[in-house]
């Protein structure tokens, strides 16, 4: 099953799409990675869903990635005596640590002592996805006194966001820790970490994961933006979580941040996923708005590794149509006359390593000689990611004996993944690359391909060889 686009598609599974037949239809429509949202999935449902995806993968004979998205801390106000209150701009409103009483128009219980201890005078508190805004005027004694900046209706257990406050709590709650261990037991390929504020949040998770899955940092907090470069370096991939970013930061700054994150991830060779509200109207409509199509197009033009569907595929009425639409948009963008020039303009210089120099040279050789494909042998996945970082105009085929590596690479731009045994020598390596390029429909007899690998073969991260090979009539190769 060969994709004709480079950008990958993540589809979230949920009530509308967790059945095996639907998962198969979504994969055929274009989904490369499936996201399981641990905010809504029990451990039993997690294992059940992973098993269904793996059966679909076996039938389609095409590697499929699985992403478990951890919930992160959920900060919420408590309940009101009447179920809700109306706050008016300019009025005083208190959030306190008194758990006995239900809230009213003057106060409400805030069951998060870490917030009460961390907020400073002048800090903003955003309620209900930013629909209401409070400003702290006095703090201390287990109380935050505020003035309402933007009022409105506030009902039971609505969320609290703190764009100006660095909380001392880590990104992993007890629930997240249990979900993480269960996801590793289920052998998912990626772990998405919510509520990342600092590099230490990534380090804590990496200690638990120990290489068994890729660690993806969701950038959704202003505090993460302040230390973005450190977080990118420590993560295996980044998710641009625009919905939450747009709550805590001015909306008009989010497009620029998206562009900055994509370019930074490309510079460091880290996969980057653009997420949230990409085709939001398709939750209830079979076609998207023109603005949504433009939004997806921009992410593809910028060279994002993947674009993601959330409620559109999880609980929407048209999950298959949403994936198919995203697929069509990506194909159209990548066929556009301006696409290659825009991608090339954002090209970053290779780092001073043999692996980066070989990857950059491979792209140039493949394009100059008009080769049919770039075939990269990769044990850990790093060689494949380096090849994708160059954003070549030629297809990339990643070969690995490690099924986990192949599945993890399914989120990476432009990579067609194939599991194969390790080559026993250089001649076998050339033959195997040519045969697979021929069998997978990338090369015909008489075509030439570029082959990159690390010698000695099977050495992780040691890309140091570039070969050009001819595909013979029998599909084997000669160099």
Name the residue with tokens 């450190």: 230
For residue 108, how many other CB atoms are within 10 A of its CB? 24
Q: How would you classify the pairing of strands 8-13 and 306-309? A: parallel
> Tens digits of per-residue pLDDT, 1-17?
789 999 999 999 999 99
> Tens digits of per-residue pLDDT, 34-61?
999 999 999 999 999 999 999 999 999 9
What is the predicted pLDDT for the residue at 1? 79
- The dihedral built from the CA positions of residue 367, 369, 375 and 377, taken in this order, carries a sign that is negative
- Residue 479, pLDDT > 60, answer no
The C-alpha atoms of residue 327 and residue 347 are separated, in whole angstroms, by 24
What is the predicted pLDDT for the residue at 349? 79
The pTM for the full model equals 0.93
Average pLDDT, the chain: 93
Please identify which of the residues 35, 242, 389, 391 carries the catalytic annotation: 35
Q: How many H helices and E strands in the chain?
A: 17, 22
What is the predicted pLDDT for the residue at 475? 58
Residue 283 backbone phi and psi in degrees, to 5: -65, -35
What is the predicted pLDDT for the residue at 260? 96
**Domain at 354-478, CATH homologous superfamily:** Pyruvate kinase, C-terminal domain (3.40.1380.20)
- Residue 454, pLDDT > 90, answer no
Identify the CATH number of the domain defined by range 8-72+171-337: 3.20.20.60
- Residue 21, pLDDT > 70, answer yes
What's the whole-number mean pLDDT along residues 108-126?
93
- Kindly give, in sequence order, each residue whose CB lies less than 8 Å from that of residue 354, ignoring residues fewer than 6 positions away: 463, 464
CB of 11 closer than 8 Å to CB of 26: yes
> Tens digits of per-residue pLDDT, 58-89?
999 999 999 999 999 989 999 999 999 999 99
Q: How confident is the model at residue 458 (pLDDT cuts 50, 70, 90)?
A: low
Q: How confident is the model at residue 101 (pLDDT cuts 50, 70, 90)?
A: confident
CA–centroid distance for 12 within its chain: 11
> Tens digits of per-residue pLDDT, 211-254?
999 999 999 999 999 999 999 999 999 999 998 899 889 999 99
Q: How confident is the model at residue 255 (pLDDT cuts 50, 70, 90)?
A: very high
Please identify which of the residues 76, 79, 175, 227 carries the catalytic annotation: 76
Catalytic residue status for 362: no
The CATH 3.40.1380.20 domain(s) of the chain lie at: 354-478
Please identify which of the residues 218, 270, 363, 407 carries the catalytic annotation: 218
Catalytic residue status for 276: yes
Catalytic residue status for 76: yes
Residue 87 backbone phi and psi in degrees, to 5: -100, 140
Q: Is 162 exposed, middle or buried (0-12, 13-18, 19+ CB in 10 A)?
A: buried
What is the predicted pLDDT for the residue at 476? 63
Q: What percent of the chain has pLDDT over 90?
A: 85
What is the predicted pLDDT for the residue at 472? 84
Task: Assign residue 27 a region (left: φ > 0; alpha: ψ between -120 and 50; beta: otherwise).
Answer: alpha
The CATH 2.40.33.10 domain(s) of the chain lie at: 84-161
CB of 270 closer than 8 Å to CB of 232: yes
Catalytic residue status for 206: no
Please identify which of the residues 12, 146, 276, 463 carries the catalytic annotation: 276
- The dihedral built from the CA positions of residue 74, 77, 82 and 85, taken in this order, carries a sign that is negative
Residue 243 backbone phi and psi in degrees, to 5: -60, -55
CB of 119 closer than 8 Å to CB of 34: no
**Domain at 84-161, CATH homologous superfamily:** PK beta-barrel domain-like (2.40.33.10)
What's the whole-number mean pLDDT along residues 318-346?
96
> Tens digits of per-residue pLDDT, 168-222?
888 899 999 999 999 999 999 999 999 999 999 999 999 999 999 999 999 999 9
What is the predicted pLDDT for the residue at 70? 97
């Amino acid at each position: 099953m060969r994709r004709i686009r480079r950008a990958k598609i993540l589809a979230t599974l949920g009530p509308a799409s967790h059945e095996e037949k639907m998962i198969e239809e979504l994969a055929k429509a274009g989904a490369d990675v499936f996201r399981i949202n641990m905010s809504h999935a029990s451990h039993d449902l997690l294992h059940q869903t992973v098993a269904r995806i793996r059966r679909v993968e076996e039938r389609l004979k095409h590697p499929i990635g699985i992403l478990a998205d951890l919930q992160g801390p959920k900060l919420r106000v408590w309940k009101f005596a009447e179920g809700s209150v109306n706050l008016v701009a300019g009025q005083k409103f208190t959030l306190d640590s008194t758990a006995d009483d239900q809230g009213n128009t003057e106060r409400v219980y805030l069951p998060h002592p870490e917030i009460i201890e961390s907020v400073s005078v002048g800090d903003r508190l955003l309620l209900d996805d930013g629909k209401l805004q409070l400003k702290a005027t006095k703090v201390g004694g287990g109380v935050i006194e505020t003035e309402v900046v933007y009022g409105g209706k506030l009902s039971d257990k609505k969320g609290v966001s703190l764009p100006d406050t660095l909380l001392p709590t880590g990104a992993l709650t007890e629930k997240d820790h249990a979900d993480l261990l269960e996801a590793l037991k289920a052998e998912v390929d990626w772990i998405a970490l919510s509520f990342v504020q600092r590099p230490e949040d990534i380090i804590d998770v990496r200690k638990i994961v120990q290489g068994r899955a890729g660690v993806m940092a969701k950038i959704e907090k202003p505090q993460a933006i302040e230390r973005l470069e450190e977080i990118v370096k420590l993560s295996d991939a980044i998710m641009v979580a625009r919905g939450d970013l747009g709550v805590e930061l001015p909306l008009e700054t989010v497009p620029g941040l998206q562009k900055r994150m994509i370019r930074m991830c490309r510079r460091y060779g880290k996969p980057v996923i653009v997420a949230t509200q990409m085709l939001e109207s398709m939750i209830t409509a079979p076609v998207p708005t023109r603005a949504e199509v433009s939004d997806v197009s921009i992410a593809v033009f910028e060279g994002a590794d993947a674009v993601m569907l959330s409620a559109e595929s999880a609980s929407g009425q048209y999950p298959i149509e949403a994936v198919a639409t995203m697929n069509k948009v990506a194909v159209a963008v990548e066929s556009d006359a301006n696409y290659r020039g825009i991608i090339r303009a954002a090209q970053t210089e290779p780092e001073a390593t043999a692996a980066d120099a070989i990857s950059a040279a491979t792209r140039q050789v493949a394009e100059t000689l008009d080769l049919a494909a770039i075939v990269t042998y990769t044990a850990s996945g790093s060689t494949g990611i380096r090849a994708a970082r160059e954003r070549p105009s030629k297809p990339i085929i990643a070969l690995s004996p490690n099924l986990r590596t192949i599945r993890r690479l399914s989120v990476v731009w432009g990579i067609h993944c194939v599991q194969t045994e390790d080559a026993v020598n250089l001649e076998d390596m050339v033959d195997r690359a040519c045969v697979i390029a021929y069998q997978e429909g990338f090369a015909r007899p008489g075509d030439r391909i570029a082959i990159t690998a690390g010698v000695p073969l099977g050495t992780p991260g040691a890309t140091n060889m570039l070969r050009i090979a001819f595909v013979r009539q029998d599909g084997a190769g000669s160099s």
